[in-house]
Amino acid sequence: MDSYLKDKSVLIIVVISPKYKADVEGYGEDEHGLHTKYIHTQIQNEFIQQHCLNFRLVPILFPTATKKHVPAWLQSTRIYRWPQDTQDLVLRLLREERYIFPSLGKEVTLSIRPL
């Protein structure tokens, strides 16, 4: 697990749900054996070390969750909603940008007048 967290070329998908919020903010040990708190702390530390710039975290908001379930430190990043943002999410995971063609304006008329 640590090797994936330390490898900066690996994207980390953060699935946000009411259960996730309860797991990372709850007290005590991780009951599920998924190391949710540990991973959360590690990615939060990386986010802070990167001066709050998000280079590899991909937060996904599940239908049962709302914006209030997103950790406060992660709310300044792009949050994908599942399944509404599927296309944008796939592009992010492929590390591709959506290119939006600029609209063409009116043709410019050039007039030349002798002085």
pLDDT at residue 85 greater than cutoff 90: yes
**pTM higher than 0.85:** no
**Which of 77, 71, 67 lies closest to 37 in space, CA to CA?**
71
pLDDT of residue 25: 83
Q: Following DSSP, what letter does each residue of 21-56 receive, concatenated?
A: HHHHHSSSS-TTSS-HHHHHHHHHHHHHHTTT--SS
Answer yes or no: are the C-beta atoms of 23 and 37 closer than 8 Å.
Answer: yes
Q: Per-domain residue ranges for the chain? A: 1-94
Q: What residues form DSSP beta bridges with 59?
A: 14
pLDDT of residue 66: 93
Q: What is the dihedral of CA 64, 66, 69, 71, to 10 degrees?
A: 130
User: What's the residue count for the chain?
Assistant: 115
pLDDT digits (tens, 9 = 90+) for 11-63: 999 999 998 888 888 766 666 667 888 888 888 988 888 888 878 899 999 99
Number of C-beta neighbours around residue 58 at 10 A = 17
Q: What residues form DSSP beta bridges with 14?
A: 59
